[in-house]
């Protein structure tokens, strides 16, 4: 390392004054009515609440760009009675007796899950648990009200403006602590879900990461998913989502941060690293769509990749994992990818059916969860997640009425050519990349392909687990993420950036 340290460790965080200036470009229209619950008092080293007038406090309280606590709730008061009626009156199509899952969601299992939803699943109980177990926040970013789960025990404590007594709750802005109680480096970590995931996909992993005590955790709902506001304009694809999540981290005070994701979360993590390499200092992904190596930078690997795609059993004869990656890419193209093209071209048509029919929504999403996870759909007792956890994922879409807006990420990204843009651009070499290779991942390529586009410093293969790594294998997932982000190479880069050194 070389160079001189910055004047203050505070430089690794955005100050309140900087945030205030940056907020001028944000919309200040009224927050959505479904954002309920508010507990916020702004306390920081830069501003002292006791000196504020009541008018100033009220103005801040009504400012939608100021982070505030929220309580999760359904958008419709008649949600449960209407749902019960729809489920009880559901009808099902016939199916070919020996079809199994080859034609799509198997009808007998769908009937079983419908009965479970109708008779045994308690949404109010699960919703109360989500509000009790996680700290939910919202603020306006890039013109949208964004919901996020946050864990930052090192944030400024909330102070009552009259009594000056701290409540013990986290304040709305980032904590400035560099190390935890054991002297270990503390780092902001952005976890990004995909489709048909939600923030809840990380739920069990969040609890494990919290106990680890190494991360300030931010888990947003993507715009148009769950309790985050849906974009009202066209062209809000993965680049716009990356911009929004980056601005969220900057706005909250996390100037430097780490990012992790699967599915669209992997695409968005890579996009953030590509667009903002001075702030996003390392990423970890568990899905890896990638083009073959470029012929001008890796001619031998390019020839090997093209030949290997045609003859994987010959080129990769000593590497079953690489053979499986090629086989998976081919299978996706001919058997699994129809949903992608439907949602990329006609999401509104599909949305009318899924929005109106709870059983239709259950069928569409269950087929993805049970088809993409590493499990036997005919053996529910062996699933890595419970029926209740699966139904909670479904209910988040149903209760917030966001299935249609969630599928538009495909349309916007496809028509904006956001993924084509990303795949042709290497991740800056200054941003190290970790990859978790789970046994039944939808998109995975041979490591040599990815090496031409990113600086991969960690590549771990797992014998069990599928597309929803955090949801399916939370213990292994948490250890993988923690081990990578607390590795010497990542810690050195992160620490150097915070202290103002150059590596």
Candidates 63, 276, 467, 477; catalytic one: 467
Catalytic: 467?
yes
Per annotation, catalytic residue among 134, 254, 257, 410: 410
C-alpha neighbours within 13 Å on the C-beta side of residue 315: 20
Q: For residue 283, what are its two tokens?
A: 């990423």
**Which stretches of 140-237 are DSSP H helices?**
203-212
**Known catalytic membership, residue 410:** yes
Report DSSP letters for 295-320, one per residue. TTT-HHHHHHHHHHHH-HHHHTTT-H
- Residue 391 to residues 15, 104, 128, 378, 387: CA-CA distances in angstroms? 41, 18, 15, 17, 6
3-state secondary structure 341-373: HHHHHCHHHHHHHHHHCHHHHHHHHHHHHHHHC
φ, ψ of residue 258 to 5 degrees: the values are -115, 155
Is 63 among the catalytic positions?
no
- Tokens (6 digits) for 93: 């199509």
What is the distance between the alpha carbons of residues 193 and 124, in angstroms, rounded to a whole number? 24
Handedness of CA 392, 217, 40, 139 (dihedral sign): negative
Q: Which residue in the block uniquely carries the two structure tokens 């978790």?
A: 436
Nearest to residue 389, comparing CAs of 121, 92, 87, 52? 121
What size, in residues, is the chain? Answer: 503
Residue 318 structure tokens:
């000593």
As a whole number of angstroms, the distance between CA 136 and CA 221 comes to 11
What angle do helix axes 203-212 and 474-485 make, rounded to 10 degrees?
A: 50
Of 263, 276, 397, 484, the active-site residue reads 263
Rg of the chain over Cα atoms, rounded to whole angstroms, equals 23
Residues with a catalytic annotation lie at: 263, 410, 467
């Amino acid at each position: 390392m070389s160079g001189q340290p910055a004047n203050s460790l505070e430089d690794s965080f955005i100050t309140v004054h900087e945030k205030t200036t940056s907020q001028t470009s944000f919309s200040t229209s009224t927050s959505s009515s479904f954002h309920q619950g508010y507990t916020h008092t702004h306390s920081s080293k830069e501003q002292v609440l006791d000196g504020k007038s009541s008018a100033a406090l009220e103005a801040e309280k009504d400012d939608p760009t100021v982070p505030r606590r929220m309580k999760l709730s359904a958008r419709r008061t008649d949600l449960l009675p209407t749902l019960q009626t729809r489920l009880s009156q559901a009808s099902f199509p016939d199916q070919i007796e020996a079809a199994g899952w080859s034609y799509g969601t198997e009808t007998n299992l769908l009937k079983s899950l419908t009965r479970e939803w109708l008779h045994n699943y308690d949404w109010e109980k699960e919703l109360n648990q989500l509000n009790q177990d996680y700290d939910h926040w919202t603020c306006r970013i890039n013109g949208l009200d964004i919901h996020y789960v946050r864990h930052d025990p090192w944030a400024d404590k909330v102070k009552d403006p009259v009594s000056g007594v701290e409540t013990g709750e986290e304040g709305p802005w980032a904590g400035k602590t560099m190390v935890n109680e054991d002297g270990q480096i503390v780092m902001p970590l952005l976890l990004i879900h995909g489709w048909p995931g939600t923030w809840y996909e990380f739920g069990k992993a969040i609890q494990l990461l919290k106990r680890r005590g190494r991360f300030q955790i931010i888990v947003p709902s993507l715009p148009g998913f769950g309790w985050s506001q849906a974009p009202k304009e066209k062209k809000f694809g993965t680049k716009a989502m990356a911009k929004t999540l980056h601005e969220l981290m900057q706005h909250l005070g996390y100037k430097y941060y780490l990012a992790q994701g699967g599915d669209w979360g992997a695409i968005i993590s890579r996009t953030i690293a590509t667009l903002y390499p001075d702030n996003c200092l390392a990423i970890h992904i568990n899905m890896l769509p990638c083009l073959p190596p470029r012929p001008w930078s890796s001619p031998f690997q390019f020839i090997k990749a093209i030949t290997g795609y045609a003859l994987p059993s010959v080129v990769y004869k000593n590497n079953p994992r690489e053979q499986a990656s090629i086989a998976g890419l081919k299978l996706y193209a001919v058997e699994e990818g129809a949903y992608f093209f439907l949602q990329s071209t006609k999401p509104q048509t599909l949305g009318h059916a899924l929005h109106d029919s709870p059983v239709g929504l259950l069928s569409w999403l269950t087929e993805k969860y049970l088809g993409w996870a590493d499990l036997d759909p005919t053996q529910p007792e062996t699933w890595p997640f419970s029926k209740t956890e699966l139904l909670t994922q479904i209910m988040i879409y149903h209760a917030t009425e966001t299935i249609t807006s969630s599928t538009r990420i495909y349309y916007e990204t496809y028509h904006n050519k956001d993924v084509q843009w990303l795949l042709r651009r290497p991740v800056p070499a200054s941003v190290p990349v970790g990859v978790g290779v789970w046994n039944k991942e939808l998109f995975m390529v041979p490591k040599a392909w990815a090496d031409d586009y990113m600086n991969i410093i960690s590549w771990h293969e797992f014998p069990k687990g599928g597309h929803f790594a955090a949801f399916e294998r939370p213990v292994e997932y948490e250890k993988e993420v923690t081990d990578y982000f607390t590795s010497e190479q990542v810690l050195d880069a992160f620490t150097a950036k915070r202290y103002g050194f150059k590596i």
